[in-house]
Amino acid sequence: MKNNDPLSAGHPWKHILRKSVLGPLLAGILLAMAASILLTGASRALVELTPGENPLLPLTVFIIILIVLLTATFTVQAVYFHIIAVHLKNDREKSVFVRMATDTIRTPVTGLRWLTELFLSGEFGAISGAQKESIVNMDAAIRRLINLLDELLKVMRMSGGLVHYNPTAADLTALLKRSAGDMNAVASAKLQRIGFGQISTDVDIWLDEPLIRHLLAALLGAAVRLGDLNTTVVLHAEPLEKDDITIGITYTGQPMLLKKDADAEARHAFPNLPPHVGDLDLTVSWEILSAAQGRFWTKHKDPEHTLFISLPRKGMARGV
């Protein structure tokens, strides 16, 4: 995942900015201390002695002036680079917000697109000519909006990888309920409901809740898209291994098709993930999963299919 963020880990500009800010500040402090000592001695020399009595007095005054100038120069440089660092950080945060917000908005808009598709297909019964014309116009407007959101996402991807994963102690049950709540309205458009299976509540887990909630909402959207009408999408979670937690999304409908080299039954297939499922763009979701050092795989047992993700429960370094 390419990263062009000047403040991100590993980027050489980060070290340049740190050195440019911290170095001059420390040098300025030391020079100021030296200047205060020399000024004290110089004040006595100016009061008690004349230049003829103290041949070092001109040199002392010159050094004092030089120290003051260097101190002012380093201080201005430190302030300048600090302002640059703040602006770069603000730009990165704005980019992250716009990209995540665009990706979030796209899901319910896509749900409306599915609804118009169902009306036009006759799944909800026969419609009149006037109704069909109105729905077709609505469908065209929704498609234009989705295309605009896609274009915005493409522009934001040019900024490089913007996912900054910061795990904290999390309540798994609350996280799953919030994720389900985010997608209830979209599921209702296909006469579906989101339910819960077994959820382990006695495990400690550290997650970046906003990012994992975004990821789960996207996967729930994929399950809703692939699921049949009048079915239930089930969320469940349990420890997979000592240091991992597994979250599953089970639905009845069409299987999620990975790329051609994926196994038919199950595969830890991060490199083979589909970037799109129907009208859903999952690119941001896969970046989140990668930043979380998680895994993805599917399991099929007709007519049910399950999407799995596993995430480290704890111990990950912050800011991956």
Over the stretch 173-212, which tens digit does the pLDDT of each residue have?
999 999 999 899 889 888 899 999 988 777 778 889 989 9
C-alpha to C-alpha distance for 73 and 305, rounded to whole angstroms? 66
Q: Which of 221-225, 255-259, 312-316 has the lowest mean pLDDT?
A: 312-316
Beta pairing partners, 194: 233
d(CA 36, CA 42): 10
Cβ pair 232, 192 in contact under 8 A? yes
- Separation CA 13–CA 23 (nearest Å): 15
User: Has this prediction a pTM greater than 0.95?
Assistant: no
| H runs (alpha helix) in 158-279 | 172-188, 209-226
Domains of the chain, by residue range, sit at 1-162, 168-312
Which residues lie below 8 Å from residue 85, measured CB to CB, with a gap of 6+?
7, 17, 21
Q: Which is it for strands 295-301 and 280-281: parallel, antiparallel or unpaired?
A: unpaired
DSSP-derived 3-state class of residue 230: coil
Average pLDDT taken over every residue of the chain:
76
Considering the segment(s) 168-312 as one domain, its CATH architecture is: 2-Layer Sandwich (3.30)
Higher pLDDT: 81 or 170? It is: 170
- Is a pLDDT exceeding 70 seen at residue 271? no
- Give the whole-angstrom CA distance, residue 248 versus residue 197: 9
Over residues 46-86, the pLDDT tens digits come to 555 454 555 565 666 667 777 777 777 778 877 888 788 77
